[in-house]
A = this chain, B = another copy of it.
Amino acid sequence: PGGVGPMTVAMLMAVRSTCRFNPGLNSLDQYLSHQPQCYIHRLTVHFLFNSNSDIVISRSCVPKPIDRLAREVGLLSDEVELYGKTKAKVQLHIIKRLQKQPDGKYVVVTGITPTPLGEGKSTTTIGLVQALGAHMKLNVFACVRQPSQGPTFGIKGGAAGGGYSQVIPMEEFNLHLTGDIHAITAANNLVAAAIDARIFHESTQSDKALYNRLVPLSGEQRKFSPIQINRLKKLGIEKTDPSALTDEEITRFARLDIDPSSITWQRVLDTNDRFLRKITIGQSPTEKGYTREAQFDITVASEIMAVLALTSSLEDMRQRLAKMVVATSCSGEPITTEDLGVSGALTVLMKDAIKPNLMQTLEGTPVFVHAGPFANIAHGNSSILADKIALRLVGPEGFVVTEAGFGADIGMEKFFNIKCRYSGLRPHVVVLVATVRALKMHGGGPTVTAGMPLPKEYVEENLELLEKGCSNMRKQIENAQHFGVPVVVAVNAFKTDTEAELDLICDMAKAAGAFDAVRCFHWAEGGAGAVALGQAVQRACEAPSNFKFLYDLDLPIADKIRIIAQKIYGADDIQLLPDAQHKVELYTKQGFGSLPICMAKTHLSLSHEADKKGVPRGFILPIRDIRASVGAGFLYPLVGTMPTIPGLPTRPCFYDIDLDPETDQVNGLF
């Protein structure tokens, strides 16, 4: 550990043999250019007694220069793009260099059905990697989602973990990071502008005029662009000479004939702007009366975010971005971004966002922060690319800990059935986070509301409520077991929890079939408070595992939905309402029937009704409608109405946020 001076070849080879992160270097030249500092330098944490503010704790620890961490984890300098001193992007060509490296152990962190306050999945993810890395001296990477900036200024605040288990610097994590979400905003809205502009231009021009503008004379000749050739192929027109098209072919090529009422592509902003939930656009006289109703979603709800999370390479991303369906033509054909001619531009806008972002925990262990799709209308998991690169970097004895959004019925189910299906990766262990607070709520405790003091049931011992509420944990353990993967329950301890309460949960978890169940104190103690969890996870990775998907893709759409509803949610059956029934037929006809399912359901209950706690029984899950994210690669049935852009409260977080002009420090983030 510590800085290294000039090294001899012998020293280098010696270092190589003890190098804990295996960089897969295949020549001494690479090694020389690499200048490895092969041990992860542990940051000194100063435990503060007078503050529990996340940003104060975050600031109390000086992050190491990110290029140093990059060397420590075995990245070569030409694989790293620095973004300031504390963030870096990793170039995708590393995948080729590491292609023969064996993967590490793959751990997914999920939770029981949470209270609206959240039960500490992110904090546990970070605490666990701090334990494995800084305390148990194992190679480890956390892979987490980039949070939306909207809630940072609204109600929820930041999302970098908490207490002494955080990604630092938390203000970088919670704000622009390296601009990936901004790139998605730009790409998403270019599609939206292209849709309405195209409808406008088609409605005001003849087929011939449209064609002449789309394929203009340049000098003496006219030429199709490659993107236009792609559209011709899709239409079955095997011609490359613009003058050879028949009138009928010209019409088919030039006129997308989008049915405005079928548009599913929305504009996005990464801002909590409730007044954009429903709007009317096109009211300027320059748009000649072509108004329509539209809406804005929060950027992380964009399909492009889901594409980013599920893609496996630049070329794959280009294809997914081209396949995104934005509307249906009046004759029932799906209209894609490739038809709009915008697919290449989207790829160009996303060419940097595809590279995972390297940051560090409070204790100096590495973290990839990459992609953060919505957990309801999308699948709520960080990127496949970050997981894949991290698994190679840690090597066969190392660990990659990734987090799945919401409870196990949602985030974990989608992690397995969607993310693992596309990645081909197989998890070794599920860590299920449980809290006394949430389990008491499931046992019948009073309503928990964000911003309000907790009722006394939650701050005093109450074994009865707790025991009753463990039903939810039992069900979520069972849900993980459907996939054949061992479960370790992490009981995220709070100051007010009693010994008896913590013991009770661990006993009930083991009785329900968990591989192990341990208490964790990482919020207060950092990695030291999660060593028991780390050891349990390490043991569980050696346990037999027999991974299987919950459903076959070839099943009819309704059957796939039913399997999830019955096996995971405990529903008696599903009910397809008319819009959903229509979409089943449409998507099956359009060839999208074999996509996996991404349920858009409340995360506050196993059922579709947020106030039904514990393990609801005897219900029929209503499917209001179904949408398709064809580029990302899933269908998303809507169970109830999903809010897709939050609002600002009377006193948003931003009242406390400011920059100290003396120190340049950010105050008030939490």
| Binary CB contact string for chain A from 220 to 255 against chain B (1 if under 8 A, 0 otherwise) | 000001111000000000000000000000000000
Decide if A616 is an interface residue (CB 8 Å cutoff): no
**B274 and A648: CB pair below 8 A?**
no
**B286 and A659: CB pair below 8 A?**
no
Decide if A37 is an interface residue (CB 8 Å cutoff): no
Which residue from chain B places its CB closest to the CB of A84 in the assembled complex?
A: B81
Contact with A82, one of B82, B185, B286 (Cβ below 8 angstroms): B82
User: Measured between C-beta atoms, what is the minimum distance from A228 to chain B in Å?
Assistant: 7
| Binary CB contact string for chain A from 639 to 670 against chain B (1 if under 8 A, 0 otherwise) | 00000000111111011111101001011110
Which residue from chain B places its CB closest to the CB of A86 in the assembled complex?
A: B81
Contacts of A664 in B (CB 8 A): 314, 351
Contact with A278, one of B85, B284, B349, B667 (Cβ below 8 angstroms): B284
Stretch at the interface among A123-131, A192-200, A472-480, A569-577: A192-200
User: Measured between C-beta atoms, what is the minimum distance from A77 to chain B in Å?
Assistant: 10
Decide if A455 is an interface residue (CB 8 Å cutoff): no
Decide if A44 is an interface residue (CB 8 Å cutoff): no
- Tell me, in angstroms, the Cα distance from A351 to B669 when the chains sit together: 14
Which residue from chain B places its CB closest to the CB of A662 in the assembled complex?
A: B315
Contacts of A314 in B (CB 8 A): 659, 661, 664
**A190 and B655: CB pair below 8 A?**
no
Q: Contact size class for A? A: 35 or more
Contacts of A656 in B (CB 8 A): 225, 344
- Tell me, in angstroms, the Cα distance from A271 to B272 when the chains sit together: 20
Known: A345-B153, A347-B659, A666-B351. A182 touches B186 (CB 8 A): yes
User: Measured between C-beta atoms, what is the minimum distance from A656 to chain B in Å?
Assistant: 5
**A189 and B657: CB pair below 8 A?**
no
- Tell me, in angstroms, the Cα distance from A516 to B584 when the chains sit together: 74
Contacts of A84 in B (CB 8 A): 81-83, 89, 352
Decide if A287 is an interface residue (CB 8 Å cutoff): yes
User: Measured between C-beta atoms, what is the minimum distance from A301 to chain B in Å?
Assistant: 15
| Binary CB contact string for chain A from 142 to 179 against chain B (1 if under 8 A, 0 otherwise) | 00000001000100000000000000000100011011
Decide if A583 is an interface residue (CB 8 Å cutoff): no
| Binary CB contact string for chain A from 433 to 456 against chain B (1 if under 8 A, 0 otherwise) | 000000000000000000000000
User: Measured between C-beta atoms, what is the minimum distance from A145 to chain B in Å?
Assistant: 18
**B345 and A190: CB pair below 8 A?**
no
Contacts of A667 in B (CB 8 A): 344
**B655 and A341: CB pair below 8 A?**
yes
Contact with A193, one of B182, B197, B273 (Cβ below 8 angstroms): B273
**A654 and B185: CB pair below 8 A?**
no
Contact with A347, one of B183, B280, B351, B658 (Cβ below 8 angstroms): B658
Contact with A657, one of B178, B286, B348 (Cβ below 8 angstroms): B348
**B658 and A275: CB pair below 8 A?**
no
**B287 and A651: CB pair below 8 A?**
no
- Which residues of A475-504 have CB atoms within 8 Å of chain B's CB atoms? none
Contacts of A275 in B (CB 8 A): 193, 196-197, 200, 281-282, 287, 290, 294
User: Measured between C-beta atoms, what is the minimum distance from A209 to chain B in Å?
Assistant: 8
**A287 and B283: CB pair below 8 A?**
no
Contact with A227, one of B153, B175, B270, B658 (Cβ below 8 angstroms): B658
Write 15 A-B pairs (CB below 8 A) sorted by A numbering: A84-B352, A149-B186, A175-B348, A179-B182, A185-B185, A189-B273, A192-B273, A193-B272, A193-B648, A201-B650, A225-B656, A226-B658, A267-B276, A344-B657, A351-B666
The 10 closest A-B pairs by CB, nearest first: A344-B658, A182-B182, A277-B284, A345-B654, A193-B273, A278-B284, A197-B648, A213-B650, A278-B283, A179-B179
- Knowing that A197-B273, A274-B287, A351-B659 touch, tell me 10 more A-B residue pairs with CB under 8 angstroms: A176-B179, A193-B275, A205-B650, A267-B276, A280-B280, A283-B293, A286-B647, A341-B652, A344-B657, A345-B657
